[in-house]
Amino acid sequence: MNKQEAIINFEKFTPPWWAKGVHIQTVAASFSNVAPINCERVKIETPDDDFLELDVLDLQNNRPVIALFHGLEGSSERHYIRNLMSDLQEAGFSSVALNFRGCGSRLNRQKRMYHSGETRDYATLFSWIETQFPKRAIFAVGFSLGGNALVKSLGEKKENHPVQRAVAVSPPYDLAKGSAKMDQGFNRVYQKRFMKTLVEKADQKRKKYPDIPEFTGSSVYDFDDQITAPLHGFKDADDYYTQCSSGQFYKHVRRPLLIIHSKDDSLCPLEYAPHETLEKSPYIQTLFTKAGGHVGFISSPKGWLNRTIIKWLNA
């Protein structure tokens, strides 16, 4: 694959006059109108006697199926997932949106939940898609945490990955540095929101599994150190971050991958990206915008992010 031949020219991102600040972009996007779509909720079993909830929109054609992965404490009902599913439908693509364990309509059965490097559930989803949609190509789009795990999955499977084409939007590259950044300045507002539901879920889980530690911290790092790491087989938060940060996996990616990221992203700073690796890889194209916040990209005219994703998937 020749990178120069593969480069795609995309429409320039232009924010509207009222949404030019990083936090305005990040926060206002959460209040976006959500497109009504007619998808089916499907529950599938996992190899470890748990379940995953999927939202499936099947157009029953021969075009690729797009797997979608949300961010930290999101779900398949978040605006960026639902609106992309709607635009993919208009473009002729079927889609399957995964709810990470505990992020769907109910808590999962097992003690463990989900984390930034959980790729076994991705493999379970891809296997299900291959069975349900035989002979159809699989593409994938991951947002934030979902993008981190998608890149990790691509790097792990290399040329044997079932996904033929992928997009990562606002992914974290270094989980340790990103976690530290979360505990600074205005980012604490986002952290507080994440912590509320993370701690609530851990408290609910403890009713069934009393040995889950009581959370005594105040930050995402504390939660990952006290809850996420021990629940998922890591020594501590630092071990979890070291093993699961996407930055180390880009050099192993062997599928066409588009990374969309804003230079002003305060939650997953672009400065932590492995820029030399991204530049050298013949499989990766980067689209770094001057503004856009974290999974924001409120644009004028509207819909820049989804138009860009669909152009890449159609390439």
Phi, psi values for residue 203, rounded to 5°: -65, -40
Phi, psi values for residue 304, rounded to 5°: -55, -45
- Active-site residue, 252 included: no
Phi, psi values for residue 77, rounded to 5°: -100, 0
The catalytic residue among 95, 144, 266, 281 is 144
Q: With beta carbons less than 8 A apart as the criterion, state whether 111 and 209 touch.
A: yes
Q: How buried is 106 (Cβ within 10 angstroms: 0-12 exposed, 13-18 middle, 19+ buried)? A: exposed
Q: With beta carbons less than 8 A apart as the criterion, state whether 78 and 104 touch.
A: no
| Tokens 């379940």, residue located | 51
- Active-site residue, 265 included: yes
The catalytic residue among 161, 265, 266, 299 is 265
- Active-site residue, 144 included: yes
Q: With beta carbons less than 8 A apart as the criterion, state whether 172 and 268 touch.
A: yes
3-state secondary structure of 6: helix
For residues 281 and 213, what is the distance between their CA atoms, to the nearest angstrom? Answer: 42
The residues carrying an active-site annotation are 144, 265, 294
